[in-house]
Amino acid sequence: MSTAVSTVLFELSYCPPAAFFAELLSAESLLLERHENYRKQTYRNRCLILTAQGVQPLTVPVIDGNRSEKAPIDQLEIDYRQNWVHRHWRTLQTAYGNSSYFEFYADYLHDIYVRKPDRLFDLNLAVLHLLLRCLRLTLPVAFTAEWHASYPAQVLTDRRDWLTPKALPDTASGAGLRQEYRQCFGAGFVPGLSVLDLLFAVGPAAGTYLVPATSAGGEPGSEPLTQTAGLITDIR
């Protein structure tokens, strides 16, 4: 029997950790949650990178942040009154400018920033499609059509809020990586960072470093997807 799960469900994150993409290796399709409310202090609007000062979050500010958790995730607007695009880009340049493959990917990421998508969901989706191409992951991507608090295991593997910046993995294997790689800073390897850290370090070989994690949340189910009618809508 195949160990591949037909569909894995994730929330849409900003420059997700490597473990996000590692889980897609055992999936036939990716389903993105579009009908939740925004949640603070998650990867929905932040990622973690490694700098000379250690691990640093890059956070995308949202309008009316104090009440943002009541907002539907696909309607949440980015706050461009804060000069976060400049800060993020300069921080990435400082942290990764000397890495082997930063220049290989930098222009593609910068193009997304300068387009200034109005909504967080649109920014994250544009970045996700770029990262999928960079990692050579070609599985179909779709949106949920309505909110469900839970799904039967035989329908899909629910990975919503499975990854959180509050609980970083202790090892590379826990972060969805087969092995450690040489990072720009520090004597010891730091797991749990944005997949950008991996891409900038090893470039086109990044996909070969990924392995589905089984230590958190258990192994993905092996049953085929049979009950998705009415639950998803395709991205066009």
How is residue 95 written in tokens? 């942290």
Query: Higher model confidence: residue 154 or residue 43?
Result: 43
DSSP per residue over 100-154, as a string? TTHHHHHHHHHHHHHH--SBHHHHHHHHHHHHHHHTT----EEEESS--S---TT
pTM of this prediction? 0.88
Whole-number Å distance between alpha carbons of 228 and 223 = 13
pLDDT for residue 183 is more than 90: yes
Average the pLDDT over each of 53-57, 122-126, 198-202, 228-232 and give the range with the smallest value.
Answer: 228-232
Average the pLDDT over each of 26-30, 64-68, 86-90 and give the range with the smallest value.
Answer: 64-68
Query: Higher model confidence: residue 180 or residue 6?
Result: 180
pLDDT per position as a tens digit, 11-34: 999 999 999 999 999 899 999 999
Give the CA-trace dihedral at 164, 168, 174, 179, to 10 degrees.
120
CB atoms within 10 A of CB 67: 9
Mean pLDDT score of the chain, rounded to an integer?
88
Residue 32: how many CA atoms within 13 Å on its side-chain side?
22
pLDDT per position as a tens digit, 31-63: 999 999 999 999 999 999 999 999 999 999 999
pLDDT band at 83 (very low <50, low <70, confident <90, very high): very high
Contact 43, 163 (CB under 8 A): yes
Q: What percent of the chain has pLDDT over 90?
A: 80
pLDDT for residue 220 is more than 70: no
pLDDT band at 4 (very low <50, low <70, confident <90, very high): low
Q: What is the mean pLDDT of residues 103-125?
A: 97
pLDDT for residue 227 is more than 90: no
Closest CA to 9 of 43, 38, 34, 37: 34
